[in-house]
Amino acid sequence: MSQRHFSRLFAWPTSSRRDTHLRHGSRIFLISALSGMCMLSSSSALPQASQATEGASGQQAFNNACRTCHIVKEGDNRLGPNLYKIVGRKAGSLPDYAFSNAMKEADFVWDEARLDRFIAKPDEVVPGHNMKPYGGLSSSDDRKKIIAFLAQQQ
């Protein structure tokens, strides 16, 4: 906003030099007060906004890398099993899904570290899995976002 436009918005009628000085001082006070209010309100909203942004970026990373085959809705299996409550679930144990023998025989429970390794290089964690042609996600940042998103679905 230009100074001229700002002056028109906050102009008070004055008739003397003293009034002009007071008007200028009032404007400075008003600007300072408004700036302070904006900083206070925005800093208190930052954690909530940051969490919302992180959640949205996690869902977006999930959608970009996983949603073609997976969904996080309980009981909704697609080409891949649903990933609702995947953290803490034994690998290959979801009822009503036809896992590969390799996944059924995998003897571990999904935790965040194992998910990170699997999303990065699935062939190294469960050789013989059926997630072809998926070969892994190299971005550790995207993997962290996806895992945080999946952990929220608990």
Give the pTM.
Answer: 0.65
What pLDDT score does 8 carry?
Answer: 53
pLDDT mean for each 10 residues of the chain (154 residues): 52 53 51 44 43 74 95 95 97 95 97 98 96 93 97 89
Q: Which CATH architecture has domain 47-152?
A: Orthogonal Bundle (1.10)
What pLDDT score does 49 carry?
Answer: 45
What pLDDT score does 56 carry?
Answer: 80
Domain ranges of the chain: 47-152
What pLDDT score does 132 carry?
Answer: 87
Q: DSSP letter string over the chain?
A: --HHHHHHHT-----SHHHHHHHHHHHHHHHHHHHHHHHHHHHHHHHHHHHHHHHHHHHHHHHHHTTTT---STT---SS---TT-TTPBTT--TT----HHHHH---B--HHHHHHHHH-HHHHSTT-S--S------HHHHHHHHHHHHHT-
What pLDDT score does 23 carry?
Answer: 53
What pLDDT score does 154 carry?
Answer: 78
